[in-house]
Amino acid sequence: MSIRIRLLILMKTFPVTIPAKGYTRKFIHKRYGCPVPINNSTLVGVVVSNILEKKKVYNDISPVEAMEQRYQRLTDRIELVITAGKFFHMALSPVISKEKVIAINRFWEALFEEELHMFCQKNIVPGRYSGYDKALDKFADLYKIDFDVDITFDALKKMEYRFRKKLELNSSVNVPSGKELTQSSMF
């Protein structure tokens, strides 16, 4: 087979759909396009292809019921396109395991939460909690997220709040106080 024919085969793409939550699909498709290219050009492409290439995603085995419940919540689908080279390299079977689908969705959820938090931080008046509602509405409008269809307003608000508190907790744990610095430097 000539090099030119091999290149043409490797340039061909394969469509793949992955179950997802509705608001996650809207976010990912708006941010990365539809279908989402799975290649080494974007963070999403690199992470998703790495998850798909792994033989086993988690070291610990989740209870089957818990995994099934998580999977059942994925009522929408995200369209991806994978190049033939990656497709064959991954030895991708027509069926992607539920475990991998859940791992990919956890990554997409993390991207969503981070983007939601950053958007709110840019769109509120510092020190005023009342600006969060307007920021959440703007975020939903930007990504065409329908409240009570894709996610409730309260769930979106709680998601941003939990992410913000997690960041605050992580930053306070990792930064020593002035008192700790002075005590350690005394000895």
pLDDT on residue 56: 66
Both tokens of 126, joined, read: 């510092």
pLDDT on residue 9: 47
CA distance 141 to 172: 33
pLDDT on residue 151: 94
100-119 pLDDT, tens digit per residue, is 888 899 999 999 999 999 99
pLDDT on residue 61: 54
Q: What does the pLDDT profile of the chain (187 residues) look like in tens digits? A: 444 444 444 457 778 889 999 999 999 999 999 899 888 888 888 888 888 877 766 655 566 777 788 888 888 888 888 877 666 656 555 567 888 888 899 999 999 999 999 999 998 876 656 688 899 999 999 999 999 899 999 999 999 999 999 998 888 765 555 555 444 444 4
166-175 pLDDT, tens digit per residue, is 998 888 765 5
Return the SS3 of 80.
strand
pLDDT on residue 179: 52
Instruction: Indicate left, alpha or beta for 158 from its phi (over 0: left) and psi (-120 to 50: alpha).
Output: alpha
In the chain, the percentage of residues whose pLDDT exceeds 70 is 73
Instruction: Indicate left, alpha or beta for 157 from its phi (over 0: left) and psi (-120 to 50: alpha).
Output: alpha
pLDDT on residue 24: 94
- Contact status, residue 112 vs residue 24, Cβ threshold 8 Å: yes
